[in-house]
Amino acid sequence: MKQFFVDLHIHVGRDWNGRPVKITGSKSLTLTNIVEEASRRKGLDMVGVIDAQAPAVQDEITHLIQTGKAEEIKGGGIRFEHTVLILGSEIEVYDASCSGPIHVLCYFPTLKQMESFTAWLAEKMKNVNLSSQRFYGTARELQQYVKDHEGIFIPAHMFTPFKSLYGKGVKKTLKEVLDADKIDAVELGLSADTEMAGLIGELSPYTYVTNSDAHSLGKLAREYQKIEMAGLTFEELRLALHDAEGRRVAVNYGMSPKMGKYHQTVCAKCLTPAFETQNQCGECGSRKIVKGVKDRIEELKSDQQERFRPPYVYQVPLLSLPGVGKRTYEKMLEVFGSEMEVIHEASKEKLLEVVPADVVKNVMALREGTLHISAGGGGRYGRIQ
């Protein structure tokens, strides 16, 4: 088996005609720019673009294939240079069984299957050209379609206070909304880690994935995983998510939950930390209290899981490190080739030849997961101290 770096949740900000796909995404976040950034600078071996249901995004992929810059590969996926593209779609579901809207990720092996998914969605969605649109059907209906068409189904950022499975969608158990047997993995999100999710017993059967949910090129690989597979294909990914035939997620890399925007419960108005049982903020008097992921998991926790989990290593993008400005970042990439090479492979001695000692110290702390973080909440990210 070989080890590959994988990030499965990347948005498309604009299509190749300049029209918005993910409205809050960067204008430079096009499909072509994503695969170029992943292959040439980030060092990601596999990326999942989760706005591939948009017809204009499909047109751009078709253009890359027709011009010889990309190719569909046996086993599923599209190869661009050193990176394999997995076609996905983020969908919002709010059916009668949901307490609130949830976001889920649906992936398919081929462009033809994604195009068929788009045609099916067009009958159940107001605008397939935009990201994360409301699906007018049930979550189980969506799951069944994905399973019937060789897809992969993953609940997205499942603990965040808004538009997630445990944040809004259910009161206590995922079975209120989803068919537990038709889930291939679960995405932790930026405000939770393996230890926190491990408090919820019903998640025991599922592999955890850690993805960037990138809305700009710089955010690619702010969370990702190292996966052991025989090769880079959709089917190898499926086996790994089910821990089958020697394939597996070997390491999860993600931000400390404290860095997440919704880790702790805070006042939405002044961002003062609060108790989730408070009716109003003791600082400003506002009654808008945003329950943090930490407190929500405390509500949900049950028998702890007893299965093996791979290590969860705390990391942030290189550009988030103190002392790493754009010039230093570009210098490291020029010398070492990619962000993954700097974070995982470059020796301390080689780094010292390129950048100052304080930067090297921070890179080593990043590699070892020992950065010191102040907690975020209420929509504000945590900060490296």
Q: What is the pLDDT of residues 263-283, one digit of tens each?
A: 778 787 787 777 766 677 877
Select from 24, 18, 50, 12 the least CA-distant residue to 217. Answer: 12
Q: Which pLDDT score is estimated for 260?
A: 67
Select from 33, 43, 38, 32 the least CA-distant residue to 3. Answer: 43
Look up the pTM and report it.
0.92
Tokens of 358: 């304080």
Set out the domains of the chain in order of their start, with CATH numbers.
2-257+304-313 (3.20.20.140), 319-373 (1.10.150)
> Given its phi and psi angles, is residue 76 left (phi above 0), alpha (psi -120 to 50 degrees) or beta?
left
222 pLDDT higher than 80? yes
Length of the chain: 385
Spatial separation of the C-alpha atoms in residues 130 and 20, rounded to whole Å: 7
377 pLDDT higher than 60? no
Tokens of 264: 């702790």
Residue pLDDT, tens place only, 351-361: 999 999 999 99
Most confident of the ranges 66-75, 258-267, 276-285, 295-304: 66-75
DSSP 3-state of 88: strand
Q: Tell me the C-alpha to C-alpha distance, in Å, between residue 192 and each of 258, 261, 307.
A: 8, 10, 18
Look over the chain and give the mean of its residue pLDDT values, rounded to a whole number: 92
Which of 7-21, 142-156, 190-204 is predicted with the least confidence, judged by mean pLDDT?
190-204
Spatial separation of the C-alpha atoms in residues 206 and 187, rounded to whole Å: 10
375 pLDDT higher than 80? no
Does 280 or 44 have the greater pLDDT score?
Answer: 44
